[in-house]
Amino acid sequence: MAIFINSGSRVIVQGMTGSEGRKHTARMLAAGTTIVGGVTPGKGGQTVQIGQSDIPVYDSVAKAMADTGADTTVIFVPPKFAKGAVVEAIDAEIGLAVVITEGIPVHDSAYFWAHAVAKGNRTRIIGPNCPGVISPGKANAGIIPADITTAGRIGLVSKSGTLTYQLMYELRDIGFSTAVGIGGDPVIGTTHIDALAAFQDDPETELIVMIGEIGGDAEERAAAFVKENVTKPVVGYVAGFTAPEGKTMGHAGAIVSGSAGTAAAKAQALEAAGVKVGKTPSETATLARQLL
């Protein structure tokens, strides 16, 4: 099993004709993802050849969905145009929109998140500023390297792309049902809690690894959710124990103000909810092994 994407997912790539979109489309194809089209306004009717695949390009998400049955879009659109691309995907009511783009203004992210809510949450947004989602051996929607792990029994949800890769590699012999990089911006679509709930309901996910970082209160809220709703073992890691107050660490949302949002406070909340928390990524991987 898997969450959010699987071997039946039919994926389009918004921005596929750009350099990043084309490069990562090739990688997603190599991982076994079913890529059925690309979307670039003004380039409808063209095709892009990647390896042995000739992939059609459409002017709009709605047209791509109508012609291909696409249910997932991966968005590689520059920040200036990202809001319009996500809104278009929401208006077309595609089931999943994975927003890879970094540097989207928070106002724009808040706008398209609110737009998705107003449209009845028919479109799940992952991101922005995220590595995407991968169900190893089934589908890869984003930029997560497909060759660093295997299919298995662990579910992973992470704010950090780099730590997503590290934990996937360290636990590659056990493998993952799905790994979800939710992004570290202040406003994101899918949250830790959304992924935790999906993993709890997935019969083939036996253990959950949750990676957080300093800033905000998402991890504290996730801890409360785990305590009340998750029966599977959860292992956690919070990046940023050595971050000084007021220092932004990598992501726009990763900033500590006073006692709020510190790694120590987050770890304490997780441990109080029964989550085993590692002090380093390697220790976190060891804890996961001990619980399986």
Residues with catalytic roles: 251
Q: Return the closest-CA partner of residue 149 out of 168, 123, 177.
A: 168
Query: Residue 100 carries which side chain, given as an amino acid letter?
Result: I
State the sign of the Cα–Cα–Cα–Cα dihedral 187, 212, 178, 198. Answer: negative
What distance in Å separates the CA atoms of residue 159 and residue 152, rounded to the nearest whole number? Answer: 21
What distance in Å separates the CA atoms of residue 232 and residue 223, rounded to the nearest whole number? Answer: 13
Tokens in use for 195?
């992924």
DSSP 155: E
In degrees rounded to 5, what are phi and psi of residue 101?
-50, 130
Tokens in use for 93?
């009511």
